Amino acid sequence: MQQTSLLALPLALLALAPLAGCGSAPAATSATASQAILGGTVDDADKGAVGLAVGIPGVFFSGHCSGSLIAPNLVLTAHHCVAMQSSGQSSGVVCGKSGFAPPGGGDIFRASVETVRPLSDGAGFYKGTGTVLVPQNNDLCGNDVALIQLEGAGVPASVATPIVPRIDLSAQDEEVFAAVGFGLTDPVNQTGDGTRMRFDGATVTCTGTECIYGVKGDEWQGTSPTCPGDSGGPAIDAQGRVFGVLSRGPDGCTASVYSDVAAWKDMLVSTALSAAAAGGYEPPFWATTGVSTPPDPVGVACDALKPCAKSWVCAGKPDGTGVCEPPCSEADTTCPDTLTCDTTIGACIEPAWLPTAAPEPAASSSSGGCALAGRPAPRTAFAAWLGAGLLALVARRRVRRTLR
């Protein structure tokens, strides 16, 4: 029988052990694990990939796992990152036998968006609440996902952009992805974790029961070289969405088993709606639409501080306000039926918004002179002229066979 290992850091496991069953979390299970990425590069950009830690004020603090910020106050990670394995079990994983103890209290968990995870508790972390959600099934294989709700409104949009979870499409064979995590960068050096690393060009080798080793139907295996400490970290697709949560892998950081995000759509959607209500913000689009591709922002109000999504253009209307419209160009003037391409701003707009032709010069009543009627000033993209005004104002003042 093939055995794999969990990747949570040992110190974090010690911290969770005495807390099992004493947290105010929903009935479910969890575990701690960690794994780091071998051969990756330092990642300053993916701030939605967060470093996790366990903090008990005055008693204990240690970084242990990775995760994905999927809403301002909601972190997606591995089940074994929030709970110990059942009593008497080692860090090795045997599907059908390895299970979880109850999760630790949600307020002991911390999340940092910093490239290098802070070594001590404090302002560099966002604190968890009492809410930790995990699957009801206690089998580790196929149930290694968890959600940690952060305090209040969570991480401000100016600090980090959440990663959209791919809830409507499972992993595809041979799909290319990037693995991100805070784990070890050398499998023989146990002190090299804590920096966000990214490995591009990994591929999905098999999905579900197609895999040779113990991989469940809602899991998949990939070539990402994740190590301990990367557990809970995201597999990011070509559109920048998280579609896998690192669970475990073989010794040596040579491959990874991920939980398929799409398999947990209902859990993610319901929790995201609750988290948004608790944080006092509008729910993310994927939680209200059930799809992971943002809707076209047609007709959405915009300005320089609120740009349009999906590369749409913030076009200036005659009344001076801005509205999102689909892009076009001189090379491609294709537009929806009711719109026409204004190549001066590169957007499809209402025909009535186009500048009118200049009237013919009118004769002046004064002797020896004439007056021309003024032509309306050419229109420009709303974001451009508002942005110029603002500039002027400024001028003024990872998962392996072992749990990761």
The string of pLDDT tens digits covering residues 92-107 is: 788 888 889 888 888 9
Read off the pLDDT band of 357 (50, 70, 90).
Answer: low
**Residue 113 pLDDT > 70, yes or no?**
yes
Residue 93 lies in a domain: yes
User: What is the rounded average pLDDT of the residues 232-248?
Assistant: 97
Q: Tell me the CA distances in angstroms from 235 to 203, 259, 292, 390, 399, one per residue in order.
A: 10, 10, 15, 38, 9
Q: What CATH number does residue 108 fall under? A: 2.40.10.120
Phi, psi angles (nearest 5°) of residue 281: -130, 165
Residue 201 lies in a domain: yes
Read off the pLDDT band of 31 (50, 70, 90).
Answer: very low
Domain limits for position 21: 4-288
Residue type, 64: H
Identify whether residues 223 and 273 lie together within a single domain.
yes
Residue 55 lies in a domain: yes
Identify whether residues 255 and 316 lie together within a single domain.
no
Buried b or exposed e, range 142-165, using 16+ CB within 10 angstroms: bbbbbbbbbeeebbeeeebebbbb
Gap between the Cα atoms of 339 and 341, Å rounded: 7
Identify whether residues 248 and 99 lie together within a single domain.
yes
Identify whether residues 206 and 343 lie together within a single domain.
no
Task: Confirm if 227 and 400 have CB atoms less than 8 A apart.
Answer: yes
Measured on CA atoms in the order 199, 204, 208, 214, is the torsion positive or negative? negative
Identify whether residues 310 and 281 lie together within a single domain.
no
> CB-side exposure of 270: number of CA atoms within 13 Å?
6
Gap between the Cα atoms of 89 and 144, Å rounded: 16
Gap between the Cα atoms of 344 and 183, Å rounded: 49
Gap between the Cα atoms of 228 and 187, Å rounded: 8
User: What is the rounded average pLDDT of the residues 255-277?
Assistant: 97
The token duo for 225 is 């070289």
Residue type, 37: I
User: What is the rounded average pLDDT of the residues 197-223?
Assistant: 93
Task: Confirm if 80 and 231 have CB atoms less than 8 A apart.
Answer: yes
- Identify the helix (H) or strand (E) that includes residue 389: helix 382-396
Neighbours of 398 (CB within 10 A): 38
Task: Confirm if 284 and 270 have CB atoms less than 8 A apart.
Answer: no
Task: Confirm if 85 and 141 have CB atoms less than 8 A apart.
Answer: no
Write down which residue in 288, 319, 335 finishes a domain: 288
Task: Confirm if 108 and 32 have CB atoms less than 8 A apart.
Answer: no
Identify whether residues 270 and 383 lie together within a single domain.
no
Identify whether residues 106 and 224 lie together within a single domain.
yes
Buried b or exposed e, range 291-306, using 16+ CB within 10 angstroms: ebeeeebeebebbbee
Say which DSSP state 289 is in: H
Of 29 and 137, the structure prediction assigns the larger pLDDT to 137
Shortest CA distance to 235 belongs to which of 253, 256, 249?
A: 256
The token duo for 151 is 């305090």
Read off the pLDDT band of 189 (50, 70, 90).
Answer: confident
**Where are the extended beta strands (E) located within 24-170?**
41-42, 49-56, 60-71, 74-77, 83-85, 92-93, 100-103, 109-112, 126-133, 146-150
Identify whether residues 281 and 304 lie together within a single domain.
no
Instruction: Please count the structural domains in the chain.
Output: 2
Identify whether residues 240 and 132 lie together within a single domain.
yes
Write down which residue in 288, 312, 335 finishes a domain: 288
Residue 404 lies in a domain: no
Neighbours of 102 (CB within 10 A): 22
DSSP-based three-state secondary structure for 62: strand
Residue 373 lies in a domain: no
- pLDDT number for residue 359: 52
Maximal C-alpha separation, the chain: 106
pTM of the predicted protein model: 0.74
Residue 359 lies in a domain: no
Percentage of the chain lying above the pLDDT 70 cut: 77
Identify whether residues 218 and 335 lie together within a single domain.
no
Gap between the Cα atoms of 71 and 60, Å rounded: 28
Residue 361 lies in a domain: no
Gap between the Cα atoms of 254 and 223, Å rounded: 7
Gap between the Cα atoms of 328 and 333, Å rounded: 5
Task: Confirm if 386 and 363 have CB atoms less than 8 A apart.
Answer: no
The token duo for 165 is 């979870």
Which residue in this structure is represented by tokens 């100016």?
158
Gap between the Cα atoms of 2 and 94, Å rounded: 7
- pLDDT number for residue 205: 96
**Residue 26 pLDDT > 50, yes or no?**
no
Identify whether residues 342 and 242 lie together within a single domain.
no
Identify whether residues 132 and 213 lie together within a single domain.
yes
- pLDDT number for residue 186: 78
Kindly report the average pLDDT of the chain as a whole number.
81
**Residue 129 pLDDT > 50, yes or no?**
yes
The token duo for 394 is 């400024």
- pLDDT number for residue 90: 60
Which residue in this structure is represented by tokens 């802070």?
118
Of 401 and 161, the structure prediction assigns the larger pLDDT to 161
Scanning 111-233, the segments in alpha helix (DSSP H) are none
Read off the pLDDT band of 387 (50, 70, 90).
Answer: very low
DSSP-based three-state secondary structure for 185: coil
Residue 116 lies in a domain: yes
Write down which residue in 260, 288, 316 finishes a domain: 288
